[in-house]
């Protein structure tokens, strides 16, 4: 299932690059999210790892919940849907909804959300720096913290890793 998810996501994200960085293929991000879940969080459930690899396909491609349900299963499709923003809504509204709805996510979706924020901070503030201003990076760091603050008590190792990365990110600004 995990390899099937990697193949599906790589096909769907083909030609996409990380925001602000045309040198990094987008597929690197969802693979990294799954890797953090497994290596940092000790998550081994194949459906959760597959959903982590697929976490942006509804949001950023023409893939639907129904497609994922038919190709994978209901649980994987539901997890991906849970962590997908509604792209038809304005950016600020989507960001506010992530904070507001974070505590209502399923346990597995919360794990994916935390790992996603860890990876985004690493990408935004790391060696592969996107072409973002100080203000954009600072705003992202604070918003991501607002999301993860709502997930406290979910998974100590992932949360601690997030807050370590957040502190490191603030220093790198």
- Residues with catalytic roles: 59-60
Residue 37 phi/psi, 5-degree rounding, is: -55, -45
Q: What would the DSSP string read from start to end of the chain? A: -HHHHHHHHHHHTTT-EETTEEEEETTHHHHHHHHHHHHTT----HHHHHHHHTTTHHHHSS--HHHHHHHS-HHHHHHHHHT---TTS-HHHHHHHHHHHGGGS-HHHHHHHHHHHHHHHHHHHSSS--S--HHHHHHHHHHHHHHHHTTTTS-HHHHHHHHHHHHHHHHH-
CA dist 151 and 146 (Å) reads: 9
Task: Tell me the HSE value of 106 on the side-chain side, using a 13 A CA sphere.
Answer: 14
């Amino acid at each position: 299932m995990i390899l099937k998810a990697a193949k599906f996501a790589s096909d769907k994200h083909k030609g996409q690059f990380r925001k602000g960085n045309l040198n990094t293929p987008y597929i690197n991000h969802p693979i990294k999210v799954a890797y953090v879940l497994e290596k940092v969080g000790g998550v081994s459930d194949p459906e959760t790892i597959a959903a982590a690899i697929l976490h942006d396909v509804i949001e950023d491609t023409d893939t639907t919940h129904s497609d994922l349900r038919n190709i994978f299963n209901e649980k994987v499709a539901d997890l991906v849907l849970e962590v997908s923003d509604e792209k038809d809504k304005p950016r600020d509204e989507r960001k506010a909804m992530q904070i507001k709805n974070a505590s209502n996510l399923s346990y597995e979706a919360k794990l994916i959300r935390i790992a996603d924020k860890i990876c985004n901070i690493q990408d935004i503030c790391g060696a592969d720096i996107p072409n973002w201003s100080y203000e954009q990076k600072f705003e992202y760091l604070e918003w991501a913290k607002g999301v993860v603050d709502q997930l406290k008590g979910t998974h100590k190792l992932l949360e601690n890793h997030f807050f370590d990365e957040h502190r490191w990110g603030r220093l790198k600004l």
